[in-house]
Amino acid sequence: MKLLFDLVTIQPAWDAKYHGGGIYGEVVFFALAKHLCKFEMICIYDSKKYLGEDILSKCSELKIKLYDINMHKPKEIVSMENVDVFYTPRQQWERDWLLNTKRFVVTWHDFFSLELIYDRIIWNYVKSLKEFINAFARFAYPRFFFNRNRNRYKMMLERGVEFITDSNHSKASFLSFFPESKDKRISVLYPPMSRRIINDNFILPSGITEKKYFLLNSGSRWYKNNLRAILAFDALFSDMENSDFKVLLTGVTNSSVYEKKITNKNHFVFLDFVEPTMLEFLYAKAYAFVYPSLNEGFGYPPLEAMHYGVPVAASGTSSIPEICQNAAVYFDPYNVNEIKNRIIQLLDKDIYTEYSARAVERYKIVSKRQEQDLEKIVSFILGERL
């Protein structure tokens, strides 16, 4: 059997060098690489985008062929290599990716484009005329974009794609948007996380003290909803003039989105994208983690914080309550006052201690299932019975 693995979907996307789908794809790639005695793997990637050195080294070590998408179209590769199975770690809905292989296997992480209603907060993140026109069109013609995106998904389903998904939430979303597929077998397999070693040689950013800062991430993406959380913190700092806590937000490509909205600027530190090992360090040293995302198919970040016993305040939406269960305090992500309320709760020592303990236990439960499900993901891709 010959498998074509899509590395393009794990490369930078949505102005983010690192993203959940990319983390997922990397772990699955290395897991599959351990089973090369069973099949032959070739990969497609984009030479114009970042691709981790560890993946490039593994391809070199195992003599895995790498095809550049700028030089060869997917259909051309399938024909040249006589590919049996195409696997993509994140749904592709462009027609160029509807390949004529015996099996087309996809990990379908979410139904973001169908579930998420465009929110007015997006206007704060618009950086160009093109982005403005795109956002305006989506506000003006929501039904058109919903139908277009649903038809894209339907196009893949009609191709006979086999897919797995990350959560019961995403499975239910699929059945909600495509009731005609109610008899389709859908496997829910928790996505794996890469575990990194903490490097205590790192230094916290200037002005930041261990266990005296709240951590947030993905500051460049509007639907991660960090602006509302920042406004909640700003209101809280206005009430607590002598607070020595700070807020650290990573993944910020345009700090003016936030700076122009706050008055207590000395309490905030905005960083661009940080390397995964540095982000891990920031999780471990944080007082608490706040995750105001409007939509998730699974949601890695809360669990990454929970690994270190860091309490979490998060949106009570989409898959987040399913994954975090009773180990997080939840808020309405559209309500700034409610976000502020939950932050105040985590400042209570008794509540903090309780949710720190819950975080560790929840992480153990989820990570155990993730390890078990990784082998099932590999088996699913290779066509072995689950």
Domains of the chain: 2-192+371-381 (3.40.50.11720), 213-368 (3.40.50.2000)
* The dihedral sign for the CA sequence 267, 262, 134, 296: positive
Mean pLDDT of 227-244: 96
Pair 21, 90: CB distance under 8 Å: yes
pLDDT at position 93, please?
Answer: 66
Distances (CA, A) of 149 to 113, 180, 315: 7, 17, 25
pLDDT at position 356, please?
Answer: 98
pLDDT at position 20, please?
Answer: 85
Cβ-in-10-Å burial (0-12, 13-18, 19+) of 174 comes to buried
SS3 sequence of the chain: CEEEEECHHHCCECCECCCHHHHHHHHHHHHHHCCCCCCEEEEEECCCCCCCHHHHHHHHHCCCEEEECCCCCHHHHHHHHCCCEEEECCCCCCHHHCCCCCEEEEEECCCHHHHCCCCHHHHHCCCCHHHHHHHHHHHHCHHHHHHHHHHHHHHHHHCCCEEEECCHHHHHHHHHHCHHHCCCCCEECCCCCCCCCCCCCCCCCCCCCCCCEEEECCCCCHHHCHHHHHHHHHHHHHHCCCCCCEEEECCCCCCHHHHCCCCCHHHEEECCCCCHHHHHHHHHHCCEEEECCCCCCCCHHHHHHHCCCCCEEEECCCCHHHHHHHHEEEECCCCHHHHHHHHHHHCCHHHHHHHHHHHHHHHHHHHHHHHHHHHHHHHHHCCCCC
Question: Is the per-residue pLDDT at 353 higher than 80?
Answer: yes
Distances (CA, A) of 186 to 101, 166, 168, 199, 245: 20, 10, 10, 39, 45
pLDDT digits (tens, 9 = 90+) for 74-120: 899 999 999 999 999 988 766 677 788 999 999 999 998 899 888 99
Most confident of 11-15, 16-20, 107-111, 382-386: 107-111
Mean pLDDT of 6-23: 85
pLDDT at position 159, please?
Answer: 80
Greatest alpha-carbon span in the chain: 67
pLDDT digits (tens, 9 = 90+) for 41-75: 999 999 999 999 999 999 999 999 999 999 999 89
Mean pLDDT of 35-41: 94
Distance CA 146, CA 117 (A): 10
pLDDT at position 200, please?
Answer: 78
pLDDT at position 225, please?
Answer: 97
Question: Is the per-residue pLDDT at 359 higher than 90?
Answer: yes
Cβ-Cβ contacts under 8 Å for 136 (sequence gap 6 or more): none
pLDDT at position 161, please?
Answer: 87
Percent of the chain residues topping a pLDDT of 70: 98
pLDDT at position 386, please?
Answer: 59
Q: Which of the four pLDDT bands, split at 50, 70 and 90, describes residue 376?
A: very high
pLDDT at position 19, please?
Answer: 84
pLDDT digits (tens, 9 = 90+) for 109-122: 999 889 988 899 99
Mean pLDDT is lowest, of 188-192, 221-225, 239-243, for 239-243
pTM of the predicted structure, to 2 decimals: 0.94
